[in-house]
Amino acid sequence: MQDRMIARAKALLADGTVDRVMGWQKGEFAYDITPAVFRSPEALDRDFVFNDFAAANVSKYLVKESRKGGKILAFLKPCDSYSFAQLMKEHRVVRENVYIIGIPSWGKTDFEKIKDRGLSGIKEIKDNGADYFVATVYGDEVTVPKFEVMLDRCKDCKSKKIVVYDELLEEPNGEEVENHRFDEVAKLEAMTPDERFAFWRKELSRCIRCNACRNVCPACTCEKCVFDNRDSGVENKAAADSFEENLFHIIRAFHVAGRCTDCGECSRVCPQHIPLHLLNRKFIKDMNELYGDYQAGADPDTRPPMTDFRFDDCEPSVVYERGGAK
């Protein structure tokens, strides 16, 4: 697939359709792959990669890139396309400055899960179709089944559909997928408040306020984040105590409520492995249950639940009455 992507990118560069390409760039190791912009066929040949470790959602980069003038080619995976469509809805990207090729995704790999198998000093990972063949500097050679090390978010994939594109790399387009992504939220909801409190304290107390979740989030594209704004009254660069850990994550989840497409980048990049997506999914689950199903980014027109209402919406007291252990 990588070769076909490079070939297509070169063609579009050559015929002047685009003047640069948004994709993924090879790092020092096979698994550390970062988003990058390529401007020449040579650069594409040299650095462009697309493999199971190219998990990063590139849509957020297009907020700035699409405003720079010229036209940029972007390869969007299904979940990236939802984020992009949501950004279009919010007027954050200039659609006409982006040429989108939709690319399918069958799930990306969580490198941490490979490491968790006790492997260190990994020097090479070979893709043998269904399995990885991992070689380390210490001479270990291990075969790891791919499915076992897939990113959690991909196991819970909501859709293989590319919702916005100029062309598709592979026809036909994928479809929405049945999934169990709210199961974990439901499990938490079923706990007692004390258990939930203990759970989240344990998770959130590990937060080091590196801001990775915010910086990677395609919904967090504010010109200036309230947490960076001295005049907002809530500015804090580092969480000094447990309250601020809570505050940051509650407010972040609240700000992206109704806008979060559930792409899962926040949890993927968290160096402390905090399951941040469970906060966003809680809002999504609540909104689906209370105000009707809504998928951010799925279409350009539906009014997001947070800027909408019905006369017969439930009262906030519904929270006291609803399930969960007492």
Partner 1 sequence: MQRIGVFVCWCGSNIAGTVDVKQVAEMLKHEPGVVFSTDYQYMCSESGQNLIKDAIKEYDLTGVVVCSCSPRMHENTFRKAAASVGLNPYMVEIANIREQCSWIHKDMPVGTAKAVILGRAAVAKVHLNAPLTAGESPVAKRALVIGGGIAGIQTALDIAEAGFPVDIVEKSPTIGGKMAQLDKTFPTLDCAACILTPKMVEAAQQEKINIYAYSEVDSVKGFVGNFDVTIRRKARFVKEDLCTGCGLCTEKCPMKKVPNEFNCGMDNRSAIYIPFAQAVPKVATIDASYCIKKKTGKCGLCSTVCGVGAIDYDQKDEFIEQKYGAIVVATGFEPISVEKFDEFAYSQSPDVVTSLEYERLMNAAGPTSGTLLRPSDKQHPHTIVFVQCVGSRCDAKNEKGKQYCSKVCCMYTAKHAMLTREKYPDTDVYVFYIDVRTPGKNFDEFYRRAVEDYGVHYIKGMVGKVVPENGKLKVQASDLLANEQLHIDADMVVLAAAIEPDKSARPLATMLTASMDTNDFFTEAHPKLRPVESPTAGVFLSGMCQGPKDIPDTVSQASACAAKVIGLLSKDKLTGNPCVAHSDELLCNGCSSCEKVCPYGAITYADKEFRMPDRTTAVRRVAQVNPAVCQGCGACTVACPSGAMDLYGFSNQQIMAEVDAICK
Partner 2 sequence: MQVENKEFKPLIVAFCCNWCSYAGADLAGTNRLNYPADVKIIRVPCSCRVNPLFILRAFQRGADGVIICGCHPGDCHYTTGNYYARRRMTLLFSMLDYLGIEKGRTRVEWVSAAEGQKFAETMNSFVETIRSLGENKRLEDLRCKTE
Contact residues for partner 1 (CB under 8 A)? 67, 90-92, 221-226, 229, 231-233, 255-256, 259, 303-304, 306-308
Task: Between 21 and 87, name the residue whose CB sits nearer to partner 1.
Answer: 87
Which one of the spans 89-97, 127-135, 238-246, 292-300 is the region binding partner 2 (CB under 8 A)? 238-246
According to CB under 8 A, which one of 152, 166, 184, 189 is a site residue for partner 2? 189
Size of the site for partner 2 (CB under 8 A): 50
Strand (E) or helix (H) holding 80? helix 78-89
According to the binding rule CB under 8 A, does residue 186 interact with partner 2? no
Residue 241 binds which entry of partner 2, partner 1, none, with Cβ cut-offs from 5 to 8 Å by kind? partner 2
Task: Rank residues 118 and 323 by Cβ distance to partner 2 and give the closer one.
Answer: 323
Q: Which does 19 bind (CB under 5 to 8 A by kind): partner 2, partner 1, none?
A: none
Q: How far is the CB of 314 from partner 2 (least distance, A)?
A: 7
Judged by CB under 8 A, the residue of 15, 223, 241, 301 near partner 2 is: 241
Q: Which is nearer to partner 1, 108 or 214 (CB)?
A: 214
221 binds, options partner 1, partner 2, none, Cβ within 5 to 8 A by partner type = partner 1
Which residues does 21 contact at the CB level (< 8 Å), separation at least 6?
Answer: 9, 12, 13, 37, 38, 39, 44, 48, 72, 73, 74
**How far is 315 from 29, CA to CA, in rounded Å?**
53
Distance of CA 248 to the CA centre of its chain: 19
Counting Cα atoms < 13 Å in the Cβ hemisphere of 16 gives: 0
Per CB under 8 A, does 309 bind partner 2?
A: yes
Angle between helix 242-256 and helix 193-204 axes, rounded to 10 deg: 100
In the list 37, 63, 188, 212, the residue contacting partner 2 (rule: CB under 8 A) is 188
C-alpha to C-alpha distance for 264 and 76, rounded to whole angstroms? 15
CA distance 205 to 315: 32
Write the binding mask 255 to 294 for partner 2: x where contact by CB under 8 A, - elsewhere.
--x---------------------x--xx--xx--xx---
Helix-then-strand count for the chain, H and E: 13, 8
Q: Tell me which of partner 2, partner 1, none is bound by residue 222, counting a contact when its beta carbon lies within the kind-specific cut-off of 5 to 8 angstroms.
A: partner 1
Confirm or reject binding of residue 306 to partner 2 (CB under 8 A). yes
Angle at 224 between CA 247 and CA 61, to 5 degrees: 105
Question: Are the C-beta atoms of residues 294 and 287 closer than 8 Å to each other?
Answer: yes
CB 281 within 8 A of CB 209: no
* Count of residues in the chain: 326
Contact residues for partner 2 (CB under 8 A)? Answer: 188-189, 193-201, 226, 233-234, 240-244, 246-247, 250-251, 253-254, 257, 279, 282-283, 286-287, 290-291, 305-311, 313-320, 322, 324
